[in-house]
Amino acid sequence: MIRAHTVAQVRAAEAELLARLPEGALMQRAAAGLAYAVLDLLGSAYGRRVLLLVGSGDNGGDALYAGALLARRGVQVEAWLLSSSAHEGGVGALRAAGGRIGTPGPGRFDVVVDGIVGIGGRPGLRPEAVDALAHVEGIPVVAVDVPSGVDVDTGEVAGPHVTADLTVTFGTHKAGHLLDPAAQACGAVHLVDLGLELPEAPVEALQAADVAALVPRPGPDAHKYTRGVVGVRAGSAAYPGAAVLSVSGAACGLAGMVRYDGAPAALDQVRAAHPEVVGPGRVQAWVVGSGSDDGAEDALRRSVADGVPLVVDADALAHAALVRGRPAVLTPHAGELARLLDVERTAIEARWLEHARLAARRLDAVVLLKGRHTVVARPDGKVRVTTTGTPWLATAGAGDVLGGLIGALLAAGLDPFDAAAAGSWLHGAAATLAAQDGPIVASDVAAALPVVLGTVVGR
């Protein structure tokens, strides 16, 4: 599990640790981790050239002490001090190690280390930082803790910011490492353990072992009904393929049975693709809305009346108020959530965390906001972010497969938050597997699900 803590949580944990450590020891730990990460990126030390962009905070100190370590290994290190209050001890250490203090201007460097603004900084950059970055455009950047100029706790950006190839963070991940748009500015993220004692994190990202632990496995005495029955009400005369794709996700093998009770116009296609799927009857979860067109409201009302957990997707999202307070997963993309909340789509895409939490709170249900890094929010504000996937997953019908998959997990016994987070992770992993040879369509994702489940969960 990747756990992302807030700035306040990190500051409190650092203060507790600092009280037990010699002065400067924590910064030295951070600087050593940063220096070795830069060396790994460089591939060699002697004769390589590294530039430090140094602001006034502790991140600037981390960069300076890391620069001193690099200089002692044979790296030519130069620092541009972008503040009159740069860390004095770090400046002295860099000079003593043979590094130099320069001024912004043209130069040849192999790597730029961004120590401009720390985790306590506000979004955006001051003009002198923007000017300095302009001189080194195109050179690989290593960000210290977070790319300067992003909002650490929300993942938002406002104005100019650093775009890093590698971010070396300390003690724990922060929300900005997982949440877009800031996550796109982080590049690869490398965590340096500082030994912090931290509370529960408000933002998490499941990993393969977490998903494997969550997915239910049949016991030795299991039969098709004890493993869960998932029902699908999807498709219409206009969109029969949505029914097929929703059923394909539901029929991944995690539930003991799939029932189709959607549009009659899609029934023959569903039966042809999945002869094991049966007709209406009792279920432990419903998947409603994909391609349902004008029939979405009626399908959702009938599903709500059954009193079982629900996945509400696509056309049914317009009637999401019907599930308020019930065990349900809503699966909007940014445009659908914008309509639900009556805001502009650009607002959703600028503040993913804020709007996913807002929707979950208003509708008193789990909200899965689909995107590059999908955000799954509970009404109490707890969030999981999905980091699996590929840009090829942005294809018509992929969300239909996801809805069916989450429905199968609900029917198998997971609560809505776990089902949404685990389903999103598996969906992204299946897309990545399917896209190894290039572009994919939604049915490719569904076909890859059993392979991913066999690898992650076990056969």
Residue 459 has a pLDDT of 53
The yes-or-no verdict on residue 222 having pLDDT over 90 is: no
Residue 128, classified by CB atoms within 10 Å of its CB into exposed (0-12), middle (13-18) or buried (19+), is middle
Class (C level, CATH) for 2-205: alpha beta
Rounded to an integer, what distance in angstroms lies between the CA atom of residue 410 and that of residue 400? 16
- Are 63 and 40 contacting, i.e. CB atoms less than 8 angstroms apart? no
pLDDT at 137 exceeding the cut of 60: yes
With contact defined as beta carbons under 8 Å apart, do 375 and 353 qualify? yes
User: How many whole angstroms separate alpha carbon 153 and alpha carbon 172?
Assistant: 13
Give the pLDDT confidence score for residue 97 in this predicted structure: 96
Q: Is the pLDDT of residue 118 over 90?
A: no
Q: Where in the chain is the domain with CATH 3.40.50.10260?
A: 2-205
pLDDT band, very low/low/confident/very high, at 220 (cuts 50, 70, 90): confident
**CATH number for region 208-456:** 3.40.1190.20
Over range 250-255, report the average pLDDT. 94
**Of 81, 84, 70, nearest to 32 (Cα)?**
70
Confidence of residue 11 (pLDDT cuts 50, 70, 90): very high
Strand pairing class (166-170; 173-174)? unpaired
The residues with which 383 forms a beta bridge, in sequence order, are 203, 377
- Side-chain half-sphere CA neighbours of 205 within 13 A: 19
Query: CATH 3.40.1190.20 region(s) of the chain?
Result: 208-456
> By percentage, how much of the chain surpasses pLDDT 70?
100
Q: Using one digit for the tens of pLDDT, what is the confidence trace for 398-432?
A: 999 999 999 999 999 999 999 999 999 999 999 99
Q: State the pLDDT at residue 61.
A: 94
pLDDT digits (tens, 9 = 90+) for 164-217: 999 999 999 999 999 999 999 999 999 999 999 999 999 999 999 999 999 998
Average pLDDT, the chain: 95
> pLDDT (tens digit, 9 = 90+) per residue, 443-454?
999 999 999 999
Query: How many residues make up the chain in this entry?
Result: 459
